[in-house]
């Protein structure tokens, strides 16, 4: 009877170890997103915060599942357990199918998601003129964003701040007067509103997520091939 290939066995272990590390990375990022306030305050408000938390919780679950599958793959390879390898193969195949379905849905509803983002940003302009606790949290997040990206307001510029402008203009203020500045209520402030920069910020992070997902898909397909080859070799041993 043919033996188990050492090359396949240790390659399976290495790829599953990488897969396990990817699970840890996703879990760590998801937990950070779950407890971070900056991102959700910029793009979420009111009832939309619930969707933000649900998405973060789903990522936490995905990260935990990937870690478990990576563990099954590593142990199945080293212990030459057909049961573990089969469980790993089935679980990995289901995840790959879900990733493909999510990618297709994301591409189909991309324009709709851009519309939702635009409407959310336009709605959040109201928060700059209010004095509630929710409004103050959003204002603080936008102040930090304005300082970093040199913009002012969300959609229409400094005017978005309304009566709250005078007490929050410092993050909008131009250190050196130039063509990128405008004069508003006695202060030289940045002319460009933050809406385009916020959208670019979100798109940039979506591209990073897509890149990570693509890298995971490659690792997953290699894991499927190695696990099935090893499963067959153990059966013929």
pLDDT tens-digit readout, 143-159: 988 988 899 998 889 99
Residues 26 and 80 in one domain: yes
Q: Please report whether residue 93 resides in a domain.
A: yes
Domain housing 69: 6-113+205-235
Q: Please report whether residue 77 resides in a domain.
A: yes
Q: Please report whether residue 122 resides in a domain.
A: no
Full-model pTM: 0.55
Cα–Cα dist 128/141, whole Å: 11
pLDDT tens-digit readout, 41-94: 544 544 445 555 666 677 788 788 888 888 888 888 888 788 888 888 888 888
Residue with tokens 């090359």: 7
Q: Are 34 and 60 in contact (CB under 8 A)?
A: yes
**Count of other CB atoms within 10 angstroms of residue 93:** 16
Q: Report the domain count for the chain.
A: 2
pLDDT tens-digit readout, 103-145: 676 666 666 666 767 777 787 788 888 888 888 888 988 898 8
CA-based R_g, the chain, Å: 24
Q: Which run of H or E residues covers position 4?
A: none
């Amino acid at each position: 009877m043919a033996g188990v290939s050492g090359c396949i066995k240790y390659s399976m272990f290495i790829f599953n170890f990488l897969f396990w590390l990817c699970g840890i990375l996703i879990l760590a990022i998801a937990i950070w997103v779950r407890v971070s306030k900056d991102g959700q305050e910029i793009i979420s408000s009111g009832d939309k915060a619930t969707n933000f938390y649900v998405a973060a919780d789903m990522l936490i679950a995905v990260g935990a599942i990937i870690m478990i599958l990576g563990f099954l793959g590593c142990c199945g390879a080293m212990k030459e357990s057909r049961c573990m390898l089969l469980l790993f193969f089935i679980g990995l195949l289901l995840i790959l199918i879900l990733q493909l379905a999510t990618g297709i849905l994301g591409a189909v509803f991309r324009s709709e998601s851009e519309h939702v983002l635009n409407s959310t940003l336009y709605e959040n302009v109201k928060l700059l003129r209010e004095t509630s606790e929710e409004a103050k949290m959003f204002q603080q997040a936008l102040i930090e964003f304005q300082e970093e990206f040199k913009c002012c307001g969300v959609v229409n510029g400094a005017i978005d701040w309304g009566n709250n402008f005078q007490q929050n203009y410092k993050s909008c203020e131009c250190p050196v007067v130039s063509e990128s500045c405008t004069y508003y209520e006695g202060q030289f402030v940045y002319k460009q509103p933050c809406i385009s920069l916020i959208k670019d910020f979100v798109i940039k992070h979506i591209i990073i997520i897509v890149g990570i997902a693509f890298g995971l898909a490659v690792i997953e397909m290699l894991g499927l091939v190695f696990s099935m080859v090893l499963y067959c070799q153990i059966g013929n041993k």
